[in-house]
Structure 1
Amino acid sequence: MAAESMSLLGLEKTSLRQQALAALRRAIPTGELPPGTHLVETELSETLRISRGTLREAMRQLQQEGLISAGARGRLSVRHLDAKEIRDIFAVRAALESLAARQLCALQDRAEVIAALRAALDEMERAAQAGLEERIEADLEFHRTLCRLTGNETLLHSWQSLEGNIRMSIMFAGLERAVKNMSVQRHSEIVDAIETGDASRVSDAITAHMDGAAAVLVA
């Protein structure tokens, strides 16, 4: 009985941490917690109705993701990106996603890959009629799926390590400009290029996509 209780408590704690992470990941890109905001443990733990220990676990994860950073005396605040950092992030994304797309082009049978990517496009189309949070998540899921379909875990992990920075770039630009980068048509061009199996064409498509996205964000 004691072991079962401990297991259940562990699950509950994990669930609370995940819920806190989800709430904070929403609050930062949408501007509820704008760049530079100091994160006060007592206030946040009361707002989220979780213990300070659970909150600290969530905050450590957010630091690793690049959404928050430590300043003087270790005080945590919402991170602020500058234009150079955004260009650098999207240059690395272009390299990673070009590698992913070239690996998909090399597959003899790409039918399942194309079906999965088109399903991700359909979800982006649906999310376009929903709120900003849904649009952000659908856009990220498309690119995450592109990397995941390669079966290359190192590539996927490398992409996921940039995810917090990608979310922060939305706050830098403002919501109106960020939404321009969530066009289904622009993403559909990448899928069309992969379907042809032409590695050179797909690399060009992704580089153009990322260069264009960075330009919109820092304009």
Structure 2
Amino acid sequence: MAQPGALLGLQKTNLRQQAVTALRTAITSGELHPRSALVETELSERLQISRGTLREALRQLQQEGLVVTGARGRLFVRHLDTKEIHDIFAVRAALEALAASVVATNADRATVTAALRDVLARMGKARRTDTLDDRIEADLDFHRLLCVSAQNDTLLHSWTNLEGSIRMSIMYAGRGQAVGNMDVDRHLEMVDAIDTGDPVAAADSVRAHMHWAASNLVG
């Protein structure tokens, strides 16, 4: 295995979380390929952490849906197929369409849409600097904020449990397709629909975005 950038030695503070972040980045960037085996001895040496700390990090990544268990308990980077991509985006569409419809009818709608536009401004800035990690995080921040703003704990919990799968799906077809899903103008269409105060239009806009995004990834 090559010695790329994400999996380097870590600082001594909060090693587990740093390991989670490094491994997550390596997986979502394609540095660790889908279906590749995660060998504890190799990874702990590269990250310069104990195998116990590494196991804790890998357990969290299993919970996030980035890592799966194979034969004899071996861990592998998760591989998504086209059906799983469509399933993920179908669930996202249901959750985020509900969030959009709720926000559209809230008294603080203007405050929320202003905050969503701020996140999109950051997404646009990341596009100009061409930092893929920043663009991914800005995209996730936008959709997370939409769900948070619905003030429905069950909705947010469901979306959060899906976040690892969302990260995997972003890089499913490679960088070129992934950045297409982070188009600022397409996201602004959702914000504009929410801003009208029409819950049906807001929900429809989210569903249309998710349908397009899934189709863009799987072709």
- The reply to whether TM is greater than 0.5 is yes
Match of 1:171 in 2: 171
- The corresponding residue for 2:73 is 74
Asked whether the 8 Å contact 1:34–1:171 carries over to 2, the reply is no
Give the aligned partner of residue 112 of structure 1.
Answer: 111
Instruction: Assess, with a 3 A threshold, how the Cα gap between structure 1 residues 13 and 161 changes in structure 2: closer, same or farther.
Output: farther
Aligned residues: 208
Work out the percentage of aligned pairs sharing the same amino acid: 64
Offset of residue 157 of structure 1 = 1.2
Question: What is the letter of the counterpart of residue 17 of structure 1?
Answer: R
Does the aligned pair in 2 maintain the 1:13–1:54 contact within 8 Å?
no
Give the unaligned 5+ runs of structure 2.
1-10
**Aligned twin of 2:218:** 218
Comparing 22-31 with 149-158, greater Cα deviation is found at 149-158
User: Which has the higher mean CA deviation after the structures are superposed, 84-93 or 123-132?
Assistant: 123-132
SS at match of 2:201: helix
Specify whether residues 14 and 86 from structure 1 end up closer, same or farther in structure 2 by C-alpha distance, changes over 3 A only: farther
CA positional deviation for 1:13: 8.0
Q: In structure 2, the residue corresponding to 1:108 is in which secondary structure?
A: coil
1:39-188 alignment, distance < 5 Å: 39-130=38-129, 131-188=131-188
- SS of 1:69 mapped into structure 2: strand
Cα deviation code 1:191-219 (max 9, x no counterpart) = 00111111111111111100000001101
Separation in 2 of the partners of 1:144 and 1:124? 14
Q: CA deviation at 1:122?
A: 0.9
In the TM superposition, what whole-angstrom CA distance separates every residue of 1:57-113 from its partner, at most 9, and x where no partner exists? 110110111101000000001010000000000000000001101110121232211
Matched residue type, 1:181: N
In 2, Cα distance between the equivalents of 1:107 and 1:162? Answer: 25
Shift of 1:15: 1.4
Whole-Å Cα distance in 2 between the matches of residues 65 and 13 of structure 1? 24
Normalising to structure 1: TM-score of the pair?
Answer: 0.92
In structure 1, what is the Cα distance between the partners aligned to 2:183 and 2:171? 18
- The structure richer in helix per residue is 1
SS in 1 for 2:76: strand
Q: Distance in 1 between matches of 2:13 and 2:96?
A: 31
Counterpart code for 1:61: Q
Change (3 A) 1:203 1:132: same
Q: 1:95 to 1:14 in 2, by over 3 A?
A: farther
Structure 1: runs of 5+ lacking an equivalent: 1-11
Kindly report the root-mean-square deviation, in angstroms, between the aligned alpha carbons of the 2 structures: 1.3
Q: Distance in 2 between matches of 1:138 and 1:49?
A: 29
Q: Evaluate the alpha carbon distance shift between residue 67 and residue 190 of structure 1 in structure 2; reply closer, same or farther with a 3 A threshold.
A: same
> Segments of 4+ in structure 1 off by > 2 A?
none
In 1, the alpha carbon distance for the partners of 2:81 and 2:208 equals 21
Instruction: Determine the C-alpha separation between the residues in 2 that align with 1:153 and 1:19.
Output: 27
The amino acid of 1:213's aligned partner reads A
What SS does the aligned partner of 1:197 have? coil
- CA distance in structure 1 between the aligned counterparts of 2:128 and 2:43, rounded to whole angstroms: 31
Q: Could you tell me how far 1:115 is from its partner in structure 2?
A: 1.4
AA matched with 1:161: N
Q: TM-score, normalised by structure 2?
A: 0.92
- Residues of 1 paired with 2:107 and 2:171: CA distance? 40
1:64 alignment partner AA = Q
